[in-house]
Amino acid sequence: MTTRVKASGLLILAGLVVLTVAALKPAAPYHPVTPTMRTAAGAATGRRVTSLEAIGSDGRSHAPATEAIDRPLVLIFIQDGCPCSESADPYFQALQAAYGARASFLGVIDGDLATARDWSARHGARHPILADPDKRIITACEAERSAYVMLVAPGGAIAELWPGYSASTLTEIGARLARLTGLGEVPLATEGAPTEMVSGCSF
């Protein structure tokens, strides 16, 4: 058997393995983003982000308005036990890794401090996860579901609230963070992200 034939056989085998793994992998849990959700989220643009405070997984008190005084802020809304939040997390972590040097990132979870710390530990979060068991911040930010993500401009005005995420949404957030921070745009790995915007479970 020639070297070329062997190489071709290995490539075919590798392809079959990838396809098999993809077939066996459970379908990602997604919820559709409705026109009503898009309209409601769009209405948040230009408003002031909430100044409500909550304790983060780092043991410190944080308020979105304070975090956004002089740098952009990304708020990520998480539901405890929600597979949608689990699926979205790696992409939001990639944004933080790319732009966290000049932008603030906060997660907001609908659980107590122990829940916030558990999420942080399990996911290796580089940013604080705020404990919001009474959903005060979640409600103030009008995040109806998990996997909502908010971009706040320096000074505290809401630049955009997305009612979910997709590959193109992640790229858009990255591009806007690049402009707001003055950093060069970082290519994001969005493989596996939904092609259409999807949302998470209801709070």
Which pLDDT tens digit goes with each residue over 70-124? 999 999 999 999 999 999 999 999 999 999 999 999 999 999 999 999 999 999 9
Query: What domains sit in the chain, N to C, each tagged with a CATH number?
Result: 29-199 (3.40.30.10)
Q: What is the mean pLDDT of residues 167-186?
A: 97
Q: For position 28, what pLDDT does the model report?
A: 54
Q: Please provide the average confidence, as pLDDT, over all residues in the chain.
A: 89
Which pLDDT tens digit goes with each residue over 14-72? 333 333 333 344 445 689 999 999 999 999 999 999 999 999 999 999 999 999 999 99
- State pTM to two decimals: 0.85
Q: Residue-wise over 148-163: b if at least 16 C-beta within 10 A, else e?
A: bbbbbbbebebbbbbb
Using CA atoms, how far apart are residues 167 and 22, in angstroms rounded to an integer?
A: 18
Q: HEC states along the chain?
A: CCHHHHHHHHHHHHHHHHHHHHHHCCCCCCEECCHHHHHHHHCCCCCECCCCCEEECCCCEECHHHHCCCCCEEEEEECCCCHHHHHHHHHHHHHHHHHCCCCEEEEEECCCHHHHHHHHHHHCCCCCEEECCCCHHHHHCCCCECCCEEEECCCCEEEEEECCECHHHHHHHHHHHHHHHCCCCCCCCCCCCCCCCEECCEC
Which pLDDT tens digit goes with each residue over 179-190? 999 999 999 999
Sign of the torsion angle spanned by Cα atoms 154, 159, 165, 167: negative
